[in-house]
Amino acid sequence: MSFLFLVAFTLISAFLLSKYLSRPRTRSTLPGGSLGYPLIGETLSFLRAQREDRGPEWLEERISKHGSVFKTSILGSRTVVIIGQAGNKFVLGADDGVLAAKQPLTLQTIGGKQNILELTGYRYRLVKGAMMTFLKPESLQKYIKEMDELVKTLFLTETKGRDTIQAVVFMKELTFSIASNILFGIKDDYTREALFDDFSLAFKAIMSLPVNFPGTVHWRGRRARSRIVNKILPIMEKRKEELLKGIRSPSSDVLSCMLELRDENKQPIADDMIIDNFVTLMIASHDTSAILLSLMIWKLARDPEVYKKVLEEQLDIVKKREGKEQKHLTWAETREMKYTWRVAQELMRMIPPVFGSFRKALKDTSYGGYDIPKGWQVLWVACGTHMNKDIFDNPTEFDPSRFENPSKPIPPYAYVAFGGGLHTCIGNEFARVETLTIVHNLVTTYEWSQVNPEEVITREPMPYPSMGLPIKIKPRVLTT
């Protein structure tokens, strides 16, 4: 009995001593909140709320107890969550030396440690510059015809002999094909399809428990990333040869452009950095667009008034082509789709594709009277301002007109569908053109209806119609 007492006393003493030694040596004022269970923190409840599209409610439970700044532990890291416009500005506008774009362990594992979301300073500017060469409006104008042709072809292939399609899967395949062809010059169908399957697995692992055990989502995602790397390395080697022989130009595609990049010492950037940014840009350039397009199809099927206005705008563009030898969409025509894009903006306000984003504190800092210790991650969330009635009148009402010369201007860092500050999404214009091109072809060529009218939205980790959005689809008969 005395031996058991001695063991228990030793264990308790060791535990108390470790807690004492781990305490900060200086007085710290952390925000209120709970770090949850050891290791997993509150990750399970957070992910469950996301799957059930109750992320705002998960936040509100904690805001009601602790205020607009609170602590938690999710996705493997202790976290300070900051809600509101001022908080968005603090996080998104912070210097990289204070709050760096260091993502959770799961995103680092899939995207790689040298992806653009992790880079700072010179390396960030270098990679961003290469990507912007292909994502800026001047470049996108050259892609419109190819994008339009590709969309038309894939729509015909998908709907041939079928009256029902899975809209979510098709939008993912469609946007992946556009990114592969236009941004990366990967035009081989077999390679593209194999990459698509692996990217689908990798993407699911981004918001998962970081448990690398056989059978887990995280484990499958890591294996998928390895296969992606194995597929892209031979493509990179071939591109290097083509660039050396002058067969291919650095301006041909993003991959070729990055292969020609030189660092501050005039040396080629490492293959690892190119691969990490290929993976990250591919995910960013197709999955977020697929989300928005799926939500557009879902919304237009459920809201006849909005659908009618979108259809009228798109048919008016077709009508203006009469008498012209014009077969493809033009850049100028996408600029005329103002109402259609306002619908997209309003959808992203109410159902933001990205729930929020993380930063990592590189040094001790503070916000709102609370300390943020070095090494902790900081999370901002879109719904904190998107659904704020002091910023948007009647925020639960779907109203695209709020983006048309609003009487109440939207303040900076309040509408953050594409982030803000230095790390504003560099693909926002690409997403706009891609969305409008696909919606134009869809509404002018087809009619559709939901198979499951009561289908709700879920997040795994991004928001999608929970049943994959099966739709009945048929060719539209245009009347003169």
Over range 93-109, report the average pLDDT.
Answer: 81
- The token duo for 402 is 């709020």
> Is there a contact between 239 and 256 (Cβ–Cβ < 8 Å)?
yes
Ordered alpha helix ranges (H), 207-327: 217-245, 254-259, 271-302, 304-319
Euclidean distance between CA atoms 300 and 308, whole angstroms: 9
Q: What is the pLDDT of residues 118-131, one digit of tens each?
A: 787 888 889 988 88
100, β-bridge pairs: 360
- Residue 6, pLDDT > 60, answer no
Residue 448 near residue 299 (C-beta atoms within 8 A) = no
pLDDT value of residue 344: 97
Does pLDDT of 475 surpass 70?
yes
pLDDT tens, position by position, 320-337: 988 777 788 999 999 999
- 450, containing H or E segment: strand 446-450
Laid out side by side, the sheet with 446-450 consists of 164-166, 470-475, 446-450
Give the DSSP H/E element, type plus range, for residue 471: strand 470-475
CA distances from 386 to 7, 84, 411 (A): 55, 9, 11
Mean pLDDT of the region 133-138: 85
What is the pLDDT, as a whole number, of residue 2?
54
Closest CA to 366 of 87, 102, 104, 23: 87
pLDDT at position 23, please? 52
pLDDT in tens, 366-384: 999 999 999 999 999 999 9
* DSSP code at position 183: I
Angle of helix 167-178 relative to helix 137-159, nearest 10 degrees, comes to 140
CB 111 within 8 A of CB 439: no
Closest CA to 33 of 79, 101, 88, 92: 79
Q: Coil, strand or helix: which one is 104?
A: coil
> 436-464: per-residue pLDDT in tens?
999 999 999 999 999 999 998 888 768 88
- Name all domains of the chain by residue range, CATH numbers in brackets: 29-475 (1.10.630.10)
Lowest mean pLDDT among 30-34, 128-132, 240-244: 128-132
| Cα 142 from chain centroid (whole Å) | 25
- Nearest in space to 221 (alpha carbons), one of 243, 204, 197: 204
Q: Is 257 annotated as a binding residue?
A: no
What's the pLDDT tens digit per position in 177-235? 999 999 999 988 899 999 999 999 888 887 777 778 888 888 999 999 999 999 999 99
Each residue of 388-423: pLDDT tens digit?
999 999 999 999 999 987 667 889 999 999 888 877
Averaged confidence pLDDT in the chain: 88
